[in-house]
Every structure is written in structure tokens, then in C-alpha cells.
Amino acid sequence: MQSMVWVADVAPLGGQLPQRFSEWLSCFTEEAPLHYRRPEDILRHTVGICMAASLVQPDAAVPLTLGRGTFGKPFFREYPDRQFNLSHSGRWVVCAQSDLPIGVDIQTQMQLSPESWRLFMTESEAAACADSVQALWLWSAKEAVAKCIGSGFLKTPPPVGDIAAETLHPLCIGGEQYWLWQQLWDGSILSVCLRREERPAVRPYPL
């Protein structure tokens, strides 16, 4: 199964959930929902979960049970072999799917102060970081890697070394092999961490 990344634009929704997703909300049980406060975050989270449900199981009439791992990574108990991961930022909601563990992150462009770099960089990474743009690429990379390996990001931010966009970058973490892929998606940074050496297929998801 090729690893797939689906990217949805929620800006045209005007803050409303797509009507076709309403049936998904009634078909699955969320054991431990994440508690977002802002309406836009609630919408993006709900869209992401519905995207995952529609991709895992096209028939919305069959019940699904959404569980979460130790650090909140979601999974459907009825499909333990179907791995997926979600991310959202700004207008974008992303759902990555694979038959192996996968982690995804998307970041809209923003300024990161040098003072904040030490929260997620090693000393050598901070010394080599040239500017806020590079820092944001590294932040997004570490988010994707942490989600793939199932660790808490700020608790154990994994080192990723030198990275380059549009390059499949090998990583060895805890004796295990991973690969990191990054690219720009309409000006936003998209990062994917995979367990096999392959470039993920990235596609728009129509809402």
C-alpha cells in the first residue's frame, strides 16, 4: 500500500462542516476526544477525523470506534492495520494513510523567534539554524517524526539533522529506520515521516 497524504482546504466552508460529513459523525464513537476551544480548531479536527473515516471505510453506515494512543495519535479499532495521522494549520487539514506507522504535519508560514528554537532544537541544530524559515521547516519535520514514532514532541524532540525539501531523508531513531519527506503545499510546509523508503503521494481532498 502506497503511503497517501490528502490535503483539504477548509477556507471555503465558512466555518460549517460539509453536509456529507454529518453522516460520519453519527457512525463512529470517539473514546477520548481532544478538547479544542476555538471553533476553527474544532472544525478542522472534525474534518480531519471524517476524512480519515471516509478513506478507511467508504460505507458511513458501519460503526467505527476512534481510539487514541498514549500521546493522542488516533486510530480506528475496527481497522488496526490501517495507519493514519492528522494535522491542521490555517486553511489546511491533512490526513496521511499507510499500512505502516506514519506521521504528518503542516505549518503555515509564521515567525519563530530564536528564543523559541531551544524548545525543540538540539544545541547543534540551533547553532546551524540560519533564520526563522529554516527553524519552521525543522519544527514541522520534528512534529511529523514524533507522531510517526509515537512519542511526545516536547518531551523527546527527535533529532533530524540536515534536511532538504523534495528529498527523501533517511533517519535512524532508536535503532529503527525512518524516512522524512518535506515539500511546500501552496506556501505551507508539509512534512511526512514514513517507515518505508518511498515518496508519499500527495493529493487534494475535495470537501
Q: How many domains does the chain have?
A: 1
Task: Flag whether the pTM goes above 0.75.
Answer: yes
pLDDT at 131: 86
The arrangement of strands across the sheet holding 28-30 comes to 28-30, 64-68, 74-76
Write the DSSP symbol of residue 157.
Answer: P
pLDDT at 32: 66
Sign of CA dihedral 155, 150, 134, 197: positive
Q: What is the CATH number of the domain that holds 111?
A: 3.90.470.20
Is pLDDT at 166 greater than 70 in this prediction? yes
The arrangement of strands across the sheet holding 188-194 comes to 103-107, 188-194, 176-185, 169-173
- Please report, rounded to a whole number, the percentage of residues in the chain having pLDDT higher than 70: 92
Q: Quick: pLDDT tens for 136-163.
A: 998 899 899 989 988 766 555 666 767 7
Angle, vertex CA 146, rays to CA 157 and CA 177, nearest 5: 105
Q: Quick: pLDDT tens for 55-110.
A: 888 777 678 898 887 777 888 999 888 899 999 999 999 999 999 999 999 999 88
Phi, psi of 143 (to 5 degrees): -60, -50
Amino acid identity of 35? H
- What is the mean pLDDT of the segment spanning 163-171? 83
Cα 2 to the center of its chain, rounded Å: 17
Q: Whole domain around residue 69: which residue ranges?
A: 4-204
pLDDT at 152: 67
Does residue 15 or residue 61 have the better pLDDT?
A: 15
Written as nine digits, the cell of 85 is: 495521522
